[in-house]
Amino acid sequence: MVVAPLVLSVVAAYLLGSIPTGLWLSRRLTGQDIRQLGSGNTGATNVLRTVGWRAALPVVVFDVGKGLVAVLLGRLLAAVFGLDPELRPLTDSLTAFAAIAGHNWPLYAGFRGGRGVATGFGTLIAISPTVALVTILLGAVIIVGTDTVSAGSLGGALIAVLLMSGFGDHRYLPYVIVSAIVVVLQHRGNIYRLVHGTERRLGVRDKLLGRFLPRGW
């Protein structure tokens, strides 16, 4: 009776992760397919650049929520089916990765989705809130310091691995490592542009410096 609830949890998590929030919201607001705009991804960063922050903010919230709810749903199904609590790390890891897979390769959007960063962060909140908090804080510092979202995403993935290996539950380490590898692979083009100094910048750092530093600094 272990296999059936695990399969059910994974399928449910994948279908939940597949909800293409960025695609549906941007289409409703602009009438356009965001997969034909900007980077072609349906994630919040592309929504921010092509539609605006008012659309990007709910996309981030919902995408994070998909990951969080997927893991919690897996735990609920495990409890309903009476699975051994010792199997929780396995159930959490499988449902978490299924949610990321759904976001990156969504059933409802022709298997063209995002890069899994926000949804992966949502799963991390459920698995280890402390690791998630430190990861998002340091990731934000990297984003502001480099003025690029991709650097923050890549740095956050590495930070999550280091934190989980040093302070977290090591039973979740394989999942965190695999999800970090997926994030890196999904950012191949960004890595190339970061290395060559051509990655598109947010402009956040200049705005912050302009606000807090005197004119002519």
pLDDT of residue 217: 43
Measured distance between the N- and C-terminal CA atoms of the chain, rounded to whole angstroms: 67
- Which amino acid, residue 32? Q
Per-residue pLDDT of the chain (217 residues; tens, 9 = 90+): 678 889 999 999 999 999 999 999 999 888 888 988 888 888 888 998 888 888 899 999 999 999 999 999 999 999 999 989 999 999 999 999 999 999 999 998 989 999 999 999 999 999 999 999 999 999 999 999 999 999 999 999 999 999 999 999 999 999 999 999 999 999 999 999 999 999 988 876 555 555 554 544 4
Domain ranges of the chain: 1-127, 128-217
187 Rama class: left (phi>0) / alpha (psi -120 to 50) / beta: alpha
- pTM value is 0.90
